Amino acid sequence: MNSRKKTILLIVDVILFGLFVFGDQFSKYCAVQELKNKEPFVIADGIFELHYLENNGAAFGLLQGQKPFFIFIAAVILAVIIYVILKTPYQRIFIKLNITLVLIASGAVGNLIDRIRYDYVVDFLYFSLINFPIFNVADIYVTVASAYLIFLLLFVYKETDLDFLTFRAKKFRDVR
């Protein structure tokens, strides 16, 4: 029964991943259609606006034009997330971890799709009140989920809860 539940959880992960990536890509599509080559759309004057930007870099415009590097990093992050999700036992305590990892993967893939298709990431959310860098929905996924992952690792899971992720050299010693 545990194997069946694990399979169901993986199917739910894939569906959530698809929905999150679709939400990100749809929001960017709408931004391109409604905001590109236009004045910013003010939601709350002096506080928040929709402001179209084609970002060739990472957060805060760092590492401009480093597409191969971003693709490599996204691939590594996705590989690690897939490994952890597949290794995670089906237990109620790990559902939060699963959803958090799916959100991070969704954000990474959402921005990766833009980088591959356009050589830039579509950003459009801007808090003018604090002059925060323009960002997008995928950035929200990654930021919020990463902060929550840190919270989970520091305050929810004990070291023994995550033993399923450790590499055990003993297994190889026993084989000899």
DSSP, residue by residue, 31-62: HHHHHTTS--EEEETTTEEEEEEEE-SSGGG-
Per-residue pLDDT of the chain (176 residues; tens, 9 = 90+): 478 888 999 999 999 999 999 999 999 999 999 999 999 999 999 999 999 999 987 765 667 767 788 889 999 999 999 999 999 988 899 999 999 999 999 999 999 999 999 999 999 999 999 999 999 999 999 999 999 999 999 999 998 888 888 765 455 555 54
The answer to whether the beta carbons of residues 145 and 104 sit under 8 Å apart is: yes
Is the Cβ–Cβ distance between 107 and 28 less than 8 Å? no
Q: What is the pLDDT of residue 62?
A: 65
Residues 6 or more apart in contact with residue 70 via CB below 8 angstroms = 58, 63, 111, 112, 115
pTM summary value: 0.88
Put the strands of the sheet holding 121-127 in their side by side order. Answer: 41-44, 48-55, 121-127
pLDDT of residue 80: 95
Catalytic residue list = 123, 139
DSSP conformational letter for 136: -
Instruction: Burial-class residue 149 by CB neighbours within 10 Å (0-12, 13-18, 19+).
Output: middle
